[in-house]
Structure 1
Amino acid sequence: MVSTELLLVLFALFAVAFLYSSVGLGGGSGYLAVLSMTSFASSNTIWLKQYAWSLNLIVAGMAFWYFQKSGHHVRGLSAPFVAASVPMAAIGGFFLVEGAIYDVLLSITLVVAAWRLVSSDLAEIEVFRPRISTAIVVGGVIGLASGVIGIGGGIFLLPALVLGRWASAKEAAATASIFVWLNSLSGLIGASAAGRIEFDLSLLLPFGSVVMIGGLFGSRFGSRVSSQRGVKELLVVILMIAAFKRLSELVV
């Protein structure tokens, strides 16, 4: 018998996968937000991180496929960000952050992600490619933070690319998707090297199935549509609710 809570979680994961993949993201921060609003919030840190990374692999992979297939991926743009972020994500995934510290870091991540979504504009703009040194620093910092917190990092990279005028909306989406995929894989490898992988296939299979469907439709939608204002507003609501929920539990 499937519980009502699990059904709601599956629906929410589907929605997050659709929304995030429509802008080239894997949805890691969204999955953490959903799980943080349920009984799964009581699970240990590595449990939350590994599911976020695993679902990222599915959704970001499909997002990259569609944006790349549509001709939006610029290898020269992605390369320095990815080269710096992947090893740093593995290092971050090796660290174990528990209890209140993790709650604070996750809450800050969710709030910043929401703010970035509100402040960024995905309209087409004139772009100027970043210096390689700048891309390496930005990629490395985001990669390390992603590994520690348990996300792919695209939620930070995408607005940075757009706000910095380093890429158009869809170029940023393509770069963010491959960035998320590789960082998530790197984070899982780091956690595995530390002997902290705890997968439950009875949850991973249904979780993975619904995000695959959501990511499929979202990626196809996003690779052909440039306006994402409504999508961003929904994501902001999800992220802010989850962030304040985690912080309220620290205070009470």
Structure 2
Amino acid sequence: MLQNENIYLFLLILPIVSFLYSSVGHGGASGYLALMALFSFVPESMKPTALLLNIFVAGISFYYYYKAGFFNKKLFIIFAITSIPLAFIGGRLEVDASLYNKVLAVLLIFAILKMLNVFGKERETIKKVKLWQGLIIGGIIGFFSGLIGIGGGIILTPVILLLHWGKMKEAAAVSALFIWVNSASGLIGQLSSGITIEKESFLLVAVALVGGVFGGYYGSKKINNKKLRYILAFVLIIACGKLFFT
């Protein structure tokens, strides 16, 4: 992994990605996967590495949002009941490389729209999530989280906002823990199927945590850096195009 000829540039961009994702309550797996795709990382290492990074960065982000009082326990549980076991199942499955790239590219569209604040508008009126809605949505997101190697927050946050089930920071807090449990479950599923984590991945964790700590802290307070979000959205668009045509 560290033999990549552009590894230093990758390590420079990585904490920026984790900072931006953590600031909105996300672990950043879709961003990490996009970066790894751009830098031509070996596909076999991408999925477990992204989930490992997610666990640490989403955990930090959740800590700050929880500490700031934005966590809605009931809203989290209704999604997590089905997402955790299905993320484990998805993590155990192997996907054809071409199909994997296409599915990841589609999911990156959610990340791009989120970074462009398409889903960033709040509504004063909050609706209650029905049990069957939470179970179905949580299960579907959880399965694809484990299958592709993301935490699912990049999909859950827009859903919460679009259906008026919570406000922005509340959605961020719920998504952060949702990402953590799905990433852990998906990674356990992968490890149980014989996949191993490269030692170099823990160096990436240390680098990503730098951005994750600052992003979680400032995101739970008041930061909203539009220029950096637009830059990241541009990077994701390039990665999305590469994945679609490879």
Q: Which residue of 2 is the match for residue 101 of structure 1?
A: 99
User: Taking every aligned residue pair, what percent have the same amino acid on both sides?
Assistant: 36
| Paired residue type of 1:211 | A
RMSD value over aligned CA atoms?
1.9
Residue 57 of structure 1, aligned match among 50, 55, 58: 55
Which residue number corresponds to residue 91 of structure 1?
89
Shift of the 55–122 alpha-carbon distance from structure 1 to 2, 3 Å rule, reads: farther
**8 Å contact from structure 1 (residues 10, 207) kept in 2:** yes
Unaligned 5+ segments in structure 2 are none
TM score, norm. by length of structure 1? 0.91
Please tell me whether the aligned partners of residues 10 and 206 of structure 1 are also in contact (alpha carbons under 8 angstroms): no
Find the aligned partners of 2:43 and 2:242 in 1 and give their Cα distance: 17
The residue that corresponds to 1:177 in the other structure is: 176
The whole-number CA distance in structure 2 between the counterparts of 1:93 and 1:2 is 26
List runs of 5+ in structure 1 lacking aligned partners.
Answer: none
Task: Determine if contact 2:110/2:154 at 8 Å carries over to the other structure.
Answer: no
> Paired residue for 2:70?
72
Residues 1-252 of structure 1: pairs in structure 2 closer than 5 A? 5-40=6-41, 43-45=42-44, 47-118=45-116, 119-123=118-122, 125-197=124-196, 199-201=197-199, 203-225=200-222, 227=224, 229-230=226-227, 232-248=229-245, 250=246
Distance change in 2, residues 1:16/1:101 (3 Å): same
Which range moves more in the overlay, 221-230 or 87-96? 221-230
Write out the 4+ residue segments of structure 1 that deviate beyond 4 Å after TM superposition.
1-4, 226-232
- Give the whole-Å Cα distance in 2 for the aligned partners of 1:227 and 1:205: 29
After superposition, the Cα gap between the structure-2 partners of 1:93 and 1:151, relative to the gap in structure 1 and judged at 3 Å, is same
User: CA contact under 8 A between 2:123 and 2:164: conserved in structure 1?
Assistant: no
Question: In the aligned structure 1, how far is the partner of 2:229 from the partner of 2:81?
Answer: 28
Segment drifting more, 126-135 vs 52-61 = 126-135
* Distance in 2, Cα, partners of 1:150 & 1:187: 7
8 Å Cα contact 2:79/2:134 also seen in 1: yes
Shift of 1:132: 1.6
Task: Give the number of aligned pairs.
Answer: 244
Distance 1:164 1:237 in 2: 27
| 1:2–1:186 distance in 2 versus 1, CA, 3 Å | closer
Q: Is the CA contact 2:17–2:28 (under 8 Å) kept in the aligned structure 1?
A: yes
Going from structure 1 to structure 2, the CA distance change for 1:229 and 1:126 (only over 3 Å counts) comes to: farther
TM-score, scaled to structure 2: 0.93
